[in-house]
């Protein structure tokens, strides 16, 4: 009797298995349509729009290198900005699953707006040329063929202890060009006097100094881990009293890499009873999308006898009261410094993700008082 029960159970089990429905086969997508729109202004931006029947998601490759990771999108929409001119093969896969997909390819020719092989953004914010209650005291629109020596001088070398910050670059004039109404400072990976990188640092010391006013600088910034561009000012008495007693006003600093490529800071440094003090550590200004490399922005400081206010594209993001007596450094003339540092205490060193060369592109500087 027991043996009959076992046989019955086995037969029932076999019968139950035979009644289970077969697994539905995966249906591959069909009718893949791809539309590619290239920005004709020379920005390098490409918009891709794809659609297909039975597609659950899309993988889009922009053909920048053999090992690139695709953009994954459920909508079939993607935007990419090419860093270089050239012919690129865009591949779009419409997926039912990761392994079941159809593919379509299309070629695109990108011709960037270039100066000496350097990509120049074609869009971005531009500041007004007048402000109520202010007059233009000085400007440089870099309209010549060389840096204006009546305004600017180069600082050369590695400085003391990497310019006081353990920076890795050697500053030299060769990394500065003025062309087509732009100042371009380039940071390069090349050996010079024991340094692994080169860059430029230009100053208006003993040539142009200002006390108070509104400062507008229109520029596109470099990016990448270990990249540290800055527009800043030091007290004109720097040579006699040193730093930080001379005071330091940082109009814009960017510490590249990740979210750092879309965040800038405004800072003051001063001497307080023999100790360095600063407004370091504020949250800065972070773009909602993109980076400061993508387009031009205007970085501004409004400096009065009472306070310093910082703006990006005329949006206030930071303000410091300078009336306390220990901030008296900011009641005196200051000169300008433009540079790209590589490495240093704040950004850390470049890594394998950092692309060289990097470029700081300045359209103009204007001082209103």
Active-site positions read 248, 253
- Distance spanning both ends of the chain, measured CA to CA: 108
Residues 139, 94: Cα–Cα separation, whole Å: 53
Pairing of strands 297-303, 213-220: antiparallel
Beta pairing, strands 297-303 & 30-38: unpaired
Bridge partners of 192, per DSSP, are 195
Q: Which residues, in sequence order, are CB contacts of 123 under 8 Å at separation 6+? A: 41, 43, 295, 296
Rounded (to 5) percent helix, strand, coil in the chain: 10, 45, 40
- Tokens, residue 259: 């979210």
Residue 16 phi/psi, 5-degree rounding, is: -65, -40
Which two three-digit tokens encode residue 360? Answer: 């700081």
Q: Which residues, 6 or more positions from 143, have their beta carbon under 8 angstroms from its beta carbon?
A: 181
**Torsion sign (Cα): 126, 130, 134, 139:** positive
Distance in angstroms (rounded) separating the CA atoms of residues 282 and 316: 13
> Which token pair is 295?
């387009």
Give the number of other CB atoms < 10 A from CB of residue 338: 24
Count the Cβ atoms, other than its own, within 10 Å of residue 107. Answer: 10
């Amino acid at each position: 009797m027991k043996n009959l029960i076992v046989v019955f159970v086995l037969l029932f089990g076999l019968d139950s298995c035979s009644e289970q429905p077969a697994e539905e086969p995966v249906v591959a997508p069909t009718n893949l349509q791809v539309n590619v729109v290239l920005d004709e202004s020379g920005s390098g931006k490409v918009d891709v729009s794809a659609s297909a029947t039975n597609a659950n998601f899309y993988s889009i490759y922009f053909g920048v290198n053999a090992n690139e990771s695709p953009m994954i999108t459920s909508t079939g929409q993607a935007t990419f900005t090419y860093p270089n001119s050239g012919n690129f093969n865009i591949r779009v896969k419409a997926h039912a699953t990761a392994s079941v997909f159809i593919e379509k390819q299309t070629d695109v020719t990108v011709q960037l707006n270039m100066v000496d092989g350097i990509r120049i953004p074609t869009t971005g914010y531009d500041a007004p040329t007048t402000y109520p209650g202010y007059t233009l005291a000085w400007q440089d629109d870099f309209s010549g063929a060389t840096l204006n020596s009546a305004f600017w001088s180069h600082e050369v070398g590695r400085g003391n202890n990497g310019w006081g910050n353990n920076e890795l670059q050697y500053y030299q004039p060769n990394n500065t060009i003025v062309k087509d109404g732009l100042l371009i400072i380039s940071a390069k990976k090349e050996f010079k006097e024991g340094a692994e990188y080169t860059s430029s640092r230009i100053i208006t010391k003993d040539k142009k100094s200002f006390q108070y006013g509104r400062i507008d600088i229109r520029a596109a910034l470099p990016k990448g881990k270990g990249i540290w561009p800055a527009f800043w000012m030091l007290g004109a008495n720097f040579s006699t009293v040193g730093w930080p007693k001379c005071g330091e006003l940082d109009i814009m600093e960017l510490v590249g890499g990740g979210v750092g490529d879309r965040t800038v800071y405004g800072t003051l440094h001063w001497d307080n009873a023999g100790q360095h003090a600063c407004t370091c550590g504020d949250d800065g200004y972070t773009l909602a999308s993109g980076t400061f490399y993508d387009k031009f922005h205007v970085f501004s400081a409004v400096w009065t006898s009472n306070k310093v206010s910082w703006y990006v594209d005329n949006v206030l993001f930071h303000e410091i009261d300078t009336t306390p007596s220990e901030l008296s450094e900011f009641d005196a003339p200051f000169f300008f410094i433009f540079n790209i540092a590589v490495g240093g205490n704040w950004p850390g060193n470049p890594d394998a993700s950092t692309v060289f060369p990097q470029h700081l592109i300045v359209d103009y500087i204007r001082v209103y008082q």
